[in-house]
Structure 1
């Protein structure tokens, strides 16, 4: 892919070195983004009652959870079980599970809200041909369907529905059914706690959603900082569109660890769509990979520091 763009290896390396002064800013920016993510999760947990752990410890769980999601195929299969395990000694397994499911739903829900708003932003700022109209229409319909699905999940809960879906899988069917029969009461309680936030704690619900959406927008500063090393012709609005469409393509490859290839291709296509060289997209993806690896290492190190011994029994 790099060979097909108008930027050779030497030029790419020179651009990476130019980003040296911006790289610490990018790393610091993501410490703030993780802080916003933690705050969103914190208010979700607090809505269910007293929280028996400090905010810095929850920040640790957040960073490590995202690190595990980055390196695990199918993403959420790594970080979310870890978060539940760590939270259980403090608030119990049912509340820990419901709070993690709620946060994951909020995190994913904000993704679709971000993509929908980016479609509207593109339509308002750029000419739309028939091919782009079809693409944007398909993205809009897809996102709206998922939003409706999430609204239903917030109203009635998701745990029982997920178990019901799992009971139809050929190789897992019998295990899932046995699990559902054994833990039926706990699953119903988890769904009740999920629905409670949307029905009774609407202020908390929308605050958490706004924080997650804000984290998406703030993360676009990373792209703006990187691209401004190469060119001054990129606005922050353009960076929002690049982030939206590249993340949409990358998330279609959710089953791959770190979305390898999808992220780079997504950046290249998104940048090319705004009349810039696709090589800028590859360069941007490379810098984001360096940031990603840095925070993965931090997250995995934090996983071994300051753990509560009680969680061994989970």
Structure 2
């Protein structure tokens, strides 16, 4: 099924991209890109802040004894490599997340389950921080003059839906619902060939619920650094528009970035959100009374930055950037606390 759906989603994204290009004057888009000049360096550095805060957020998604083995820079490298694989493989996050876990195991001797559990926790705290980031953006929507009311209402509805789903996902991890389901499966199908996979899933569930139960402060710190990462995205947008010769208020910048991230989350099924990001930014800018070509130009700048970052991740993954660190491995009992 995935072999059929992935190409269809990709073609859908290509169609959205084509619509975005046809909806604006592309000569104006080209002119904006040419005026960016050396300002792209500041845009790139702003995204470097995003990557740094994301790495810090991930660092707090580990238990203290696990995090002690990892520097922020080490996690930044692992994250950069993993995200590059997420981008280039047809499996999405199924391609990059195991790569991250592999590097954590091979280079820092953290168990494979420990690496995967930390990634699920980090993804959850990142989404929770995105909710906190999008709430002010949605409030700003109704304070900006001249904005399309249907667009504002639709965006607010999207935020509420997204928030409910993420909170349910968090509760699913913390309340032990997954353990209950796994236990039911184990009792119902005691001789199933899937038993090893079920055992691994149960171990992951135990690790994640143990993290939330025993380390609530670390969870909040992970959310905080994730939130700073989203705010750094506003800075990236500011630099991009500033060198395009367009100055917007921080309220408008925050709103644009918040709704853009909602679009990207909602289009997770499209590789790299191709087309969805471009069409989304065109619609966002037009709804806010701005030129649609600005939205497409902003998207193309991010695509260029994205390609460079992917190249950096592939370079790190194929180099000797990682040096094995010999540390004692925790006992299985410790990892399940």
Find the aligned partners of 1:134 and 1:78 in 2 and give their Cα distance. Answer: 36
Asked whether 1:119 is paired with 2:138, we answer yes
Partner of 2:99: 82
Q: Give secondary structure in 1 for the equivalent of 2:62.
A: helix
Q: How far did 1:262 drift?
A: 0.7
Find the residue that maps to 2:248 and give its secondary structure.
coil
Matched, 1:234 2:240: no
Superposition map of 1:58-73 within 5 A: 58-73=75-90
- Choose which of 237, 258, 261 in structure 2 pairs with 1:244: 258
Question: Where does structure 1 lack aligned partners over 5 or more consecutive residues?
Answer: 165-173
Native 8 Å contact 1:271 1:280 kept in 2:
yes
Match of 1:221 in 2: 235
How many corresponding residue pairs? 298
TM-score, normalised with respect to structure 1: 0.83
Contact 1:220 1:240 in 2 (8 A): yes
User: Is 1:178 matched with 2:193?
Assistant: yes
Structure 1 residues 280 and 137, CA gap change in structure 2 (3 angstroms):
closer
Task: Name the SS of the counterpart of 1:178 in structure 2.
Answer: coil
Q: How has the CA–CA distance of structure 1 residues 273 and 160 changed in structure 2, closer, same or farther, with 3 Å as cutoff?
A: farther
Instruction: Report deviation, 1:91.
Output: 1.3
Call closer, same or farther: CA 1:129–1:33 in 2, change over 3 Å: closer
Contact 2:146 2:288 in 1 (8 A): no
Matches within 5 A, 1:276-295: 276-295=290-309
Point out where structure 2 has 5 or more consecutive residues left out of the alignment: 1-19, 184-188, 326-337
SS at match of 1:45: coil
Q: 1:77 to 1:16 in 2, by over 3 A?
A: same
**Distance across 2 between alignment mates of 1:45 and 1:144:** 24
Equivalences for residues 28-47 of structure 1 within 5 A: 28-47=45-64
* 1:266 positional shift: 0.9
> 1:32–1:199: structure 2 CA closer, same or farther, 3 Å change rule?
same
Deviation at 1:113, TM superposition (A): 3.2
Distance 1:129 1:59, change over 3 A: closer
TM superposition shift of 1:203 = 1.0
For 2:170 and 2:196, locate their aligned partners in 1 and report how far apart those are by CA, in whole Å: 28
Contact 2:174 2:212 in 1 (8 A): yes
CA contact (8 A) 2:113 2:204 kept: yes
Which residue of 1 is the match for residue 171 of structure 2? 152
Residue 16 of structure 1 is matched in structure 2 by 33
Shift of 1:218: 1.0
RMSD of Structure 2 on Structure 1 (CA): 3.0
Q: TM-score, normalised by structure 2?
A: 0.78
